[in-house]
Structure 1
Amino acid sequence: MFSFRTQGYNGYNLKYSPFHDSRLAVASSANFGLVGNGRLFILGLTANGIVAEKTFDTQDGLFDLAWSERHENQLAVASGDGSIKLFDVALNDFPIQSWQEHKREVFSVHWNLVDKATFASSSWDGTVKIWSPEHGSSLTTLATNSCTYSTAFSPHSPTLLSAVSSDSHLRVFDTRLPPPHLIHQIPVHGAGQPAEVLTHDWSKYRPGVIATAGVDKLIRTFDLRSPQTPLSVLAGHNYAVRRVSYSPHLPGTLLSASYDMTCRVWNDGTTEPTAAAEGQAMMGQCLGAMDRHSEFVVGIDWCMFGAEGWAGSVGWDEMLWVWDVRGVMGR
């Protein structure tokens, strides 16, 4: 394992560069994001370990980040003051673009992986917005009417994006349709006790399959072709699940990060056709856990390059770990 300390700043998420196998970035906040500044770390993986290549300081905490899919040096960050800023790693000090439309904290940003020209943000103000780096204002606003923790474009379509919120719903939008663009509004917990949904991710291999997780500690997957009940349920975390991320290499494999201070790797159970045919949710299998963090783990990402299975995680312990997921399988 490799490590780096974001000293004085608590990590909220990290992302590997889609262009460079040795570069990653961390969005972080002072004082656990409650009050104070933020810092964006640009890090390099070297033969001597992980080194800070550059940092950008912001006036409010940073909660998420997304590398541009078009420009290797640019990335967007989500801020607690409701702003979104676009930085260029090749330039110093100041963001090259800043947007201030959200009324509350921006908790998520996600770049469109298909058309590569736009990115989305979600906020506690109950909206999802779509942006272009070339425009000074948002292109589209989508209403969720609830504190929205996570938004993501489908990796299979340039016009589909999703969001999960504090009202226990997963929503899917299609921007080709007229407003409000909504095509699915799925109650994640069904008739059970509603709980805030904090995170979700699209399967990279099965179009229409989405994993969700949150306060009730369970990870659920849904198939948009039949979203009435979960496709699978993954139980094992002891506290809320803060982040999930599907593998870009291994179908049906995903990572999770939790307030129980662990990252876990799962087989999501969606490769079992019998359960789906019977209308019963499969119980996914936990394949292993990484427990090097000493505080809440709130960010994870897979590396796209090199040997499959490398990932990074950040937490409120000011630590970044880069580790081989295969090394924890079977523990």
Structure 2
Amino acid sequence: LFCSFETLEEKMRAMANLRYRVLPPQLLLKWPKEASFCQLMMHPVPDTRPKMSEVLQSEFLNQSRNSLEEREAALRLREEIEEQELLLDFLLQLQKRKQDIADNLQDTVAFLSSDINEVLHRQSALGQCGNFSIELDKEVSSGTVEDQSDCGSRKRFRPELHAVDMEEHSRSLEECSRTVPSSVVIQESVLSKSSRLMKNFKKLETAYFLARSKLARQVGNPLRSCDQVVKRTTGSAVGTEGSSIDDFALEGHSGRRQGGWMNSFLEGLCRYLSFSQLKVRAELKQCDLLNSSNLVCSVGFDRDNEFFATAGVNKKIKVFEYNMIVNEHRDIHYPVVEMSNKSKLSCISWNSYMKSHIASSDFDGLVQVWDVTRSQVFVEMREHERRVWSVDFSLADPTKLVSGSDDGTVKLWSMNQAGSVGTIRTRANVCSVQFQPDSARSIAIGSADHKIYCYDLRNIRAPYCTLVGHTKTVSYVKYVDASTIVSGSTDNSLKLWDLSTNQARVIDNPVQTFTGHTNTKNFVGLSISDGYIATGSETNEGFCLPQSISNASLGV
């Protein structure tokens, strides 16, 4: 069948020979049906051979086609099974994630219910305290009426005295009406606070959960009370034997602030709702206000907040009296003291003990201490090789100060010695330095390498702690207290760091991150007072926000 022949007769002779129609034994044994079909195909009589239609309908060809169809069906079935398995795996993963969300939501609802019950319990306790005070007021007022009636029964009626008493009483009522807010004013205040709360509900919700997560991270470490930072500036307390209400209120207040987890969040919420906007109290007006060289680089108050000083690119330190600027309206304000420097000034720092001493740093790398009463320099410290950005007097030891420079060094100085008493070398420009408030042995350094370094001055070879988290230059570092630091960076953020919660040498998880202001290239300022953090912005705005709420847009 498959051999080539020159003529058809030659092929027919070959086909008629039975020798050429014998198939191999292996084919006959393994595939007998196929062998018989081949024999039929090689029949010497052409009419006896099967036709094409019969070949296509042969059993072994149809059997192969059926097995191929079965194989294809099996492949399709396997693909469908694999697809179903993928779908099942996706659904199981989705179920697991949603179940985790549901569990977290259930936990959230559980501790929300717990917190609500705690607040209701406190309200109930305060309500009982209020009822007791009302009853006490009634008893006091009834006793006063009885005393007045007794006095009236023993004294003769004098019309002139009665008229005087009535006039005094009417004046006192007028004063009370002016001083005591009406219910309408109180209601408007409550509505205003409620409106602000609803407007920033998502951000406050984030702050609430952040306070909760902070508690979870600090299991076993009681939260420090915010009252360590917040100073009570109004009122006075006088204890008496019968002041059980005051004692109860103070205990409840202290317990709420110190014992409960909500102290930080509640403190921040109350502070946030206390003020709605910042108003300009006074504006410093100078005769050369329009001069572009009057850029102020640093402002500082003296220890008693009676005077403040400004310094900047005009190469002058100007000292102003605070009350005069705030309480007196004048077209031009003149400084009480003005001191000139040879170079542009970058930073000033008042001495906390010697009220007349101001330290300054300038663009030529010079650190100086000025005597304000004499309007002259009495100490010069010239060791930095490049511009000095920051200088700070120690609050614990007023004879010590520290400076940081673009030359990558931090110099430690003593008023009693000539030359520096120590040098800390860093790998980048130093933008800010500050002493720990209650110690002259610890400092914090803000660096251009995006990090904050905390040094113990008894061992200046290496920092005892490094704070990592900013993505750009750290331009400011400020101590809130001995173990809390606020840092400002040109990455548009402030970060609050707690040094007491982590014993590692590197801390990369700040307690809070404050955003919302704009700071990408300039020194916009950073100040801390009474539980608030204030910073400037390159949008010509100022932001003041509570320490425990992590978004500058919640500030005022």
- Normalised TM-score (structure 1): 0.74
Q: Is the 8 A contact 2:388 2:405 kept in 1?
A: yes
1:68 is the counterpart of 2:302: yes
Residue of structure 1 equivalent to 2:465: 232
How has the CA–CA distance of structure 1 residues 267 and 167 changed in structure 2, closer, same or farther, with 3 Å as cutoff?
same
Tell whether the 8 Å contact from 1:195 to 1:215 is kept in structure 2 after alignment.
yes
Q: Structure 1 residues 60-69 or 289-298, which shifts more?
A: 289-298
Q: Equivalent residue of 2:548, what SS?
A: helix
Quote the Cα distance in structure 2 between the aligned partners of 1:242 and 1:295.
10
Alignment of 1:243 onto 2:476: yes
Q: Which residue of 1 aligns with 2:430?
A: 197
- The residue type paired with residue 51 of structure 1 is K
In the alignment, what sits opposite 2:373? Answer: 134
**Corresponding residue for residue 52 of structure 1:** 280
Letter in 2 for 1:255: V
Q: Is the 8 A contact 1:267 1:284 kept in 2?
A: no
**Kept in 2: contact 1:252–1:270 (CA 8 A):** no
Question: In structure 1, which of residues 179, 185, 197 is the aligned counterpart of residue 423 of structure 2?
Answer: 185
Letter in 1 for 2:517: H
Alpha-carbon shift at residue 50 of structure 1 (Å)? 1.9
1:255 aligned residue: 486
Asked whether the equivalents of residues 339 and 376 of structure 2 are also in contact (C-alpha less than 8 Å), the reply is yes
Over 3 Å counting, the alpha-carbon distance change for 1:110 and 1:20 in structure 2 is: farther
* Secondary structure of 1:227 counterpart: coil
Alignment match, 2:344: 105
Residue 73 of structure 1: CA displacement? 3.4
| 1:292 counterpart residue number | 516
**Match for residue 325 of structure 1?**
547
Find the aligned partners of 2:428 and 2:457 in 1 and give their Cα distance.
Answer: 21
Q: Which has the higher helix share?
A: 2
Aligned-pair CA distance for 1:107: 0.8
- Among 440, 443, 448, the alignment partner of 1:210 is 443
Query: For 1:63-102, what aligned pairs fall within 5 Å after superposition?
Result: 63-70=297-304, 72-89=305-322, 90-91=324-325, 92=330, 93-101=333-341
State the distance in 2 between where 1:47 and 1:322 align.
10
1:138 & 1:315 partners in 2: Cα distance? 33
Decide whether aligned partners of structure 1 residues 270 and 124 sit closer, same or farther in structure 2, where only a CA change above 3 A counts.
farther
Contact 1:257 1:298 in 2 (8 A): no
Q: CA deviation at 1:109?
A: 0.6
Larger relative contact order (CA 8 Å, sep ≥ 6): 1
Question: How far did 1:270 drift?
Answer: 9.0
CA contact (8 A) 2:537 2:543 kept: no
Contact 1:62 1:79 in 2 (8 A): yes
Q: What residue is the counterpart of 2:90 in the other structure?
A: none
CA–CA separation in structure 2 for the residues paired with 1:112 and 1:21: 23
2:492 aligned partner, one-letter code: M
C-alpha displacement of 1:298: 3.0
Contact 2:320–2:336 at 8 Å: present in 1 too?
A: yes
Instruction: Work out which of the residue numbers 408, 411, 414 in structure 2 matches 1:174.
Output: 414
Counterpart contact for 2:395–2:438, Cα < 8 Å: no
Deviation at 1:21, TM superposition (A): 7.0
Paired residues in the alignment total 268
Which runs of 5 or more structure 2 residues have no equivalent in the other structure? 1-192, 197-230, 235-273, 552-556
Q: Which range moved further: 85-94 or 234-243?
A: 85-94
More strand by share: 1
Which runs of 5 or more structure 1 residues have no equivalent in the other structure? 3-18, 23-45, 276-280
1:311–1:211: structure 2 CA closer, same or farther, 3 Å change rule? same
- Aligned partners of 1:146 and 1:324: how far apart in 2? 37
**What corresponds to 1:26 in structure 2?**
none
Give the superposed CA RMSD: 2.6
Amino acid in structure 1 at the alignment position of 2:423? Q
Q: 1:246 is paired with a residue of what secondary structure?
A: strand
